[in-house]
Amino acid sequence: MNPAVLRSSDQARHRRIRGGFGGPQPRADLNDKSLPVPFRPARAPLPDPDQKKAALSYLNEAWAEARHDGVDGDCLAQASLFAALAELVGTYGEDAVADYLEGIPSRVRNGEYSLSLARQ
């Protein structure tokens, strides 16, 4: 992502994410489209349930902004899945993630990812 096209409020966040304030620098083999981007937390971690709520809030905000900018929902979903799987593989390894993913089809069929059922 080119920082010149970011809104000024996003430029500082972009510099922090990319390691512009003394944080870790991205690996040489990664480019702006590679994920995940290394970072250092600004504060102590939140409790797990609060982290999940905060994470979903951030994702919803980013999703809404991308949709507003004309990015197709299917493209967002594919990119989100890629980013999520890359993060999980980096954390837990390929075998553990593959084992976890084997349970996804039945969870989808049981409606765990259907918003109309999740809200009931």
pLDDT, tens digit (0-9, with 9 covering 90-100), for 76-85: 999 999 999 9
pLDDT at 32: 52
* Cα distance between the two ends of the chain: 39
In terms of DSSP H, where are the helices of 1-120? 8-17, 48-68, 73-92, 94-101, 104-109, 115-118
- The per-residue pLDDT for range 29-65, each reduced to its tens digit, is 445 555 555 667 777 777 888 899 999 999 999 999 9
Q: Say which residue, 63 or 26, is predicted with more confidence.
A: 63
pLDDT at 37: 59
Is 24:39 a contact under the CB 8 Å cutoff?
A: yes
Q: List, in order, residues 6 or more apart from 67 with CB less than 8 Å away.
A: 73, 76
Rounded distance, CA 104 to CA 107, Å? 5
